[in-house]
Amino acid sequence: MGQSVSFIKLIKLLNEAPDLTLKFNLLKSALELETADLIALANEVNDYSDLIEIKSDELTLKSKVDLFDDLSIFKRVSGSGRIAILDKIDSTNSYMIKNARNLASGDVVIAEVQNSGRGRRGGKWHSTFGKQITLSVCYVFDSIEKLQGLSVGIGVAVAQSIEKFGFEDILLKWPNDVYKDHKKVGGILIETVPYKQKIKAIIGVGLNVYADQFGKLDREYTSIFETKEDTFKRNDLAVALINNIKRTCNEFNTGHSQRFIEAFKARDELLGKNINVETVQGIYSGRAAGIDKKGALLLSSGDSIMSITSGHITFIVNTRDPSEE
């Protein structure tokens, strides 16, 4: 399922050191590296996040990093499945798909750094060191029909995981975005792989946990926390996510998905807004009217309401109801 590489070991050593500082000789001995390799390793970390100050004979971590702990997570996760925490990876979903033959239901991959994470329609989801959660869960469903509306269910699972830590402003934008204070805080990507007579679903979740520089993006982003909380660890949210995702998958697989539809309706970011929906059949405009019992978007236009199972949402600047035109 994957092995740790050394730059996480370097961060762990500095994270636990007095004043977050260690001499070269101690680090070289612990990591079995020469000076040039040690400096190269520190620079590799700084390529992702400016974390390490390199001095003449010592390294200093500029601030403590909230690292994942596989044992802490594993002890609190329910059900079967293995957990792998990888230092850096292109995408947790891509990794799982490449290794799908070796995956069992309940397996989880978490990345400290994800540099080519994927969203729907080819969007990118990059993770900054120690500030986000990027993970994927494999779950085996009895048939493709069992996955109907699953993105809605996973959205609810993610929202409820965040709400567990005291947040009441988590909304869901159909079909796969998570919002806080009406800004995007995370996303969901569900992909499938045939497995004998069943279906392996790879469920990817990316969340901004701590405030970060999001750069030039096509929409406003935010994070769950503005600053690092002493009483909170990313491990805690990862455990909540994994357990809720597994539970949700089990309920969908056993035909008990209706409660997620109702829970989504209470968190519907789009409800009542004028939107465009880009689908393979064309672009449709109207007012978002919620979702149906199968998790499809309901779009009201004039005297009709249409049901859309898949599409990309854009907001309409003009707030007039299309039925009034």
Model confidence pLDDT, tens digit, residues 155-164:
999 999 999 9
Nearest CA to 65 among 85, 80, 88, 45? 45
Q: Are 93 and 13 in contact (CB under 8 A)?
A: no
| Overall average pLDDT of the 271-288 stretch | 95
Q: Is the pLDDT confidence value at 309 over 60?
A: yes
Tokens of 250: 């089990």
Q: Are 145 and 199 in contact (CB under 8 A)?
A: no
Residue 229: band (very low, low, confident or very high) from pLDDT cuts 50, 70, 90: confident
* DSSP tag of 296: P
Please name the residues in contact with 93: beta carbons below 8 A apart, sequence gap of 6 or more.
117, 118, 136, 189, 191, 202, 204
Give the pLDDT confidence score for residue 126 in this predicted structure. 52
Q: Is the pLDDT confidence value at 101 over 60?
A: yes
Residue 228 or 210, more confident: 210
Give the pLDDT confidence score for residue 47 in this predicted structure. 86
Q: How high is the mean pLDDT of the chain?
A: 89
pLDDT digits (tens, 9 = 90+) for 166-203: 998 999 999 999 999 999 999 999 999 999 999 999 99
Distances (CA, A) of 58 to 53, 153, 233, 261: 9, 49, 28, 55
Residue 315: band (very low, low, confident or very high) from pLDDT cuts 50, 70, 90: confident
Tokens of 3: 């092995």
pLDDT digits (tens, 9 = 90+) for 80-94: 999 999 988 999 999
Give the pLDDT confidence score for residue 56 in this predicted structure. 95
> How large is the angle between the packed helices 6-15 and 24-31, nearest 10 degrees?
140
Residue 221 or 117, more confident: 221
Q: Is the pLDDT confidence value at 118 over 60?
A: no
Query: Full-prediction pTM beyond 0.75?
Result: yes
Give the pLDDT confidence score for residue 319 in this predicted structure. 52
> How large is the angle between the packed helices 150-163 and 258-265, nearest 10 degrees?
60
Residue 268 or 220, more confident: 268
70-265: in CATH 3.30.930.10:
yes
- How is the chain split into domains, by residue range? 6-61, 70-265, 274-324
**Which CATH fold would you assign to the domain 274-324?**
SH3 type barrels. (2.30.30)
Alpha helices in 16-138 (DSSP H): 24-31, 35-48, 70-76, 92-98
| Overall average pLDDT of the 252-262 stretch | 95
Please name the residues in contact with 324: beta carbons below 8 A apart, sequence gap of 6 or more.
none
